[in-house]
Amino acid sequence: MTVSSAPGKVYLFGEHAVVYGEPAVPCAIERRARVTAEPRDDDHVRVEAVDLSLDGFTVEWAESTKDRPDVDVPSSLVEAAMGYIEEAVAQARDALDDHDAGFDITVESDIPLGGGLGSSAAVVVAAIDAAVRSRDQRIDPRELANRAYQAEHTVQEGQASRADTFCSAMGGAVRVEGDDTRAIDAPELPLVVGYDGGAGDTAELVAAVRELRERYEFAADTVETIGDITRRGETLLADADPGEKPDGALLQELGELMDFNHGLLSALGVSSRSLDTMVWAARDAGAAGAKLTGAGGGGCMVAVDDTDSTQSALGYTPDCAQTFRAELATEGVRAEE
């Protein structure tokens, strides 16, 4: 039995704009997807998924994941989850140069599915790693990040950046601009996440932003402005001492940029009433700044606050189903016992 885990992430800056070549800065957090892989003697793949913030499901397929599990959750989420796992298996088979390799796969995750914390990237990264290692081979994290990106790219119909998958494979804070992917030093940021219990469909949201950007000049300008904010945010992060708590002034400035970023994402139509409510609850509680994270449409927001006020305010916000402090995950994909 081979187990790999990979972390989720929050975006400090730049989601959506990164799809059009602007820079983004995601940051891995200590919420992980764990995937167990066992080789099979035949060419079947059996997937059991538990605790993906949807009812667990089990499905077995021979040639494809055409048989969908019968569970009482939005079918688009199940479709998306199965699609990601199917593509991860295809990438593992390709890495192994064995296109008939069969696996029993179990997915467990404490990252809400579709909630903006990079659940699909973490599952894909951990699944490729576990499947390859289960057949006594190794895959280098950069190759793994690239393969996971190819898998996401296929599922999201060609509309994915390298940000989620690179961040999950490498851990820590990263910077992604087109094909240029690199780790960056980041201070220890006091991140607080609020989760509305819902989810957005990444492929749909990305397609909606693309359409808006093609129809309206303001939307294309908005995407570019998000890029400017990200560059400014990066400069601030570079001024802080890596691994240390940033001083209050720097936190305020970072928070202000996150507020701007949220406003621009709202203008692109990817926020929601519950995300806005949680963002305002955090700001009213004294957070330095707050924004949605990930594709949007529902799911999670992230705030910076070094006091307990934001978490406590979110705890009393009816639109917030769960709130927690997000620790930076310095390790990306890793083998588990």
Q: For binding to ligand MEV (CB under 6 A), which residues are involved? A: 15-16, 18-19, 118, 160-161, 163-164, 202, 206, 294-295
d(CA 111, CA 88): 18
- What's the token pair of residue 68? 């969908």
- What's the token pair of residue 135? 């057949």
Sort residue 243 into left (φ over 0), alpha (ψ -120 to 50) or beta: left
Tell me the catalytic residues: 164
Q: Which is nearer to ligand MEV, 51 or 204 (CB)?
A: 204
In whole angstroms, the minimum distance from the beta carbon of 18 to ligand MEV comes to 5
* Chain centroid offset of residue 25 CA: 12
d(CA 330, CA 16): 24
Q: Which is nearer to ligand MEV, 93 or 213 (CB)?
A: 213
In whole angstroms, the minimum distance from the beta carbon of 4 to ligand MEV comes to 20
Q: Which is nearer to ligand MEV, 102 or 269 (CB)?
A: 269
Query: How many CB atoms are located within 10 Å of the residue 82 CB?
Result: 22
Query: How many CB atoms are located within 10 Å of the residue 42 CB?
Result: 8
Q: Which is nearer to ligand MEV, 4 or 202 (CB)?
A: 202
In whole angstroms, the minimum distance from the beta carbon of 185 to ligand MEV comes to 22
DSSP conformation letters of 164-228: HHHHHHH-SEEEEETTEEEEE------EEEEE-S----HHHHHHHHHHHHHH-HHHHHHHHHHHH
d(CA 23, CA 153): 18
In whole angstroms, the minimum distance from the beta carbon of 117 to ligand MEV comes to 8
d(CA 107, CA 50): 6
Q: Which is nearer to ligand MEV, 6 or 313 (CB)?
A: 6
In whole angstroms, the minimum distance from the beta carbon of 100 to ligand MEV comes to 30
d(CA 309, CA 315): 10
Bridge partners (DSSP) of residue 324 are 193
